[in-house]
C-alpha cells in the first residue's frame, strides 16, 4: 500500500455482530488503524484515546480499528469500546499482509522499555495481555484516507505503542 493509492475494499466481521464493508466509508475521511491483539495494553489505550477524540473529529470522519484476533476473543476483550466506531477482527491476517503491517522484535522490546508508564497505566485499568504469540511482534499501522478513498498518509509505528499522533488525525479530520 502506498500514498496516492485507492484504499482496497475491506470486508471483516465487527464486534457489534455486523459485517463491515469499507464501501460504507464513501464521502468520509477515515483513519484505518491496524492493532496487535484484543488484550494488547497499548492498543486498548489508543482505542480509548480515539474514543475520547471522536466528537472532536466530526461527523464526516470515521475511525476503523482492525485487530489480529478471533472475533469471539475480540468481542470478549474489546466490548467496552463498542459504542465508538467499527472494531474488526482479521484473525487470518489477510489485510495485515495486504497492507504490509510490519513485525519487529526490537520494536516490541523498545515499546515495553520506553513506554513502561503507559504499559502500567493500561494494565492497571484491566488491559492485561492474555496471549503469548507472534502477534506480540505486530507494529501499529495507520492510514489516513480522504473522502475519495485515496490514501493520503501511512504511519508505520516504530514500536508497539507508537501510533500516528492524535493531533495529526485531528488536523486531517478538518477539511
Higher pLDDT residue, 84 or 161? 161
What pLDDT sits at residue 4? 96
Q: Is residue 3 part of a domain?
A: no
Q: Is residue 34 part of a domain?
A: yes
Q: Is residue 6 part of a domain?
A: no
Q: Which residues of 43-53 are buried (b: 16+ CB within 10 A; e: fewer)?
A: bbbbbbebeeb
The owner of cell 476473543 is 73
The owner of cell 497492507 is 99
Q: Is residue 84 part of a domain?
A: yes
Q: Is residue 5 part of a domain?
A: no
Question: Using an 8 Å Cβ cutoff, are 172 and 152 in contact?
Answer: yes
Residue 45 sits in a domain whose CATH number is: 3.40.30.10
What pLDDT sits at residue 39? 81
Nearest to 64 by CA among 119, 7, 102, 5: 7
Domain of 49 in residue numbering reads as 11-173
User: How sure is the predictor about 94, in pLDDT bands with cuts at 50, 70 and 90?
Assistant: very high
Angle made by CA atoms 155, 114, 109, in degrees to the nearest 5:
80
Is the confidence at residue 79, as pLDDT, over 90?
Answer: no
Q: How many domains does the chain have?
A: 1
Sign for the pseudo-dihedral over CA of 124, 80, 12, 29? negative
pLDDT digits (tens, 9 = 90+) for 59-71: 889 999 999 988 9
Q: What share of the chain has pLDDT > 70, as a percent?
A: 87
Amino acid at each position: 500500500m502506498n500514498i496516492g493509492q485507492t484504499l482496497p475494499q475491506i470486508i471483516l466481521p465487527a464486534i457489534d455482530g455486523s459485517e463491515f464493508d469499507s464501501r460504507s466509508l464513501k464521502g468520509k475521511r477515515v483513519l484505518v488503524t491496524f492493532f496487535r491483539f484484543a488484550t494488547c495494553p497499548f492498543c486498548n489505550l489508543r482505542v480509548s484515546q480515539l474514543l475520547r477524540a471522536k466528537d472532536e473529529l466530526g461527523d464526516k470522519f470515521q475511525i476503523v480499528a482492525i485487530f489480529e484476533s478471533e472475533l469471539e476473543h475480540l468481542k470478549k476483550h474489546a466490548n467496552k469500546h463498542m459504542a465508538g466506531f467499527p472494531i474488526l477482527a482479521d484473525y487470518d491476517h489477510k489485510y495485515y499482509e495486504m497492507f504490509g503491517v510490519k513485525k519487529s522484535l526490537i520494536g516490541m522490546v523498545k515499546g515495553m522499555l520506553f513506554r513502561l508508564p503507559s504499559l502500567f497505566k493500561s494494565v492497571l485499568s484491566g488491559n492485561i495481555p492474555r496471549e503469548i504469540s507472534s502477534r506480540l511482534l505486530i507494529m501499529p499501522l495507520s492510514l489516513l484516507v480522504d473522502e475519495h478513498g485515496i490514501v493520503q498518509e501511512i504511519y508505520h509505528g516504530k514500536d508497539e505503542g507508537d501510533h500516528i499522533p492524535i493531533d495529526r488525525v485531528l488536523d486531517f479530520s478538518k477539511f
